Amino acid sequence: MKSKVKNETMKITESAFYDMINHIGSKPSESGGAGFGYESDNVIRDFVPDYNAMTTRASYTMDTPFLNKEIKERWENQRRSLLMIAHAHPYGSSKLSSPDKQYFEELLNNMHREKFYTPILFTIPDGGLKVFPYVWDKGSKQPKYVQLEIVADDYREATKTENQAPDKEVAKKKAEKANRTYVIISNSKESKPVLSEKVSSFLSIILSVAIVYGIVFFSAFYAIKFFTELILKLI
């Protein structure tokens, strides 16, 4: 069993947690979504389901345009940033896959923050709900398995302090921060096709070739027959 990092937690509000498990935990793997909050305390306060993601039982590819729009709007309206991407794995696979690790490492390298949360979930249809909270520290090659802490929705509410601008210097700093907080998710996580998809593609190619050869063969056969009858009539 994995050992959790002592005293380090992934904090998420009650409403965000239940939104996450109601979306991800209620259906077979793989599905996912994004978590938002303030960079000052790294508490995940909102969960946004990724309804239109491309998924199979072995892969999850995010709806990039949708999530980019959410990132922009939540920063402009609430000053909340993208802090988490969560997704489900098939039961028994509680660790991030190699494509997961590559994607999240690249993502964090392009973000102006020190950590990012990447929890894995097991779902109820797959055998039972379970959450495995991981956090990536900037510059790290591996995620850390930490404690999960569910907090009240008004936990250390940061809105009052983060949205105030008492003087021009603070306003200037906020403008600079706004310019660097946008995170454009590149769709670099590419899943290898599962075996059934490969077999289906191969059979489709064989069927197409067979149809083409069939058309050519029968066309040639009837053409020869037609010309032979024509020649016999002329003779």
Domain residue limits, the chain? 9-181, 193-235
What is the CATH architecture assignment of 9-181? 3-Layer(aba) Sandwich (3.40)
The predicted-structure confidence for 209-222, as pLDDT tens digits, reads as follows: 667 666 766 666 66
The pLDDT of residue 219 is 66
Instruction: State residue 214's pLDDT score.
Output: 67
The residue ranges of the chain whose pLDDT is under 50 are 159-166, 171, 174-184, 186-199
Q: What is the pLDDT of residue 169?
A: 57
Structure tokens at 23: 């979306």
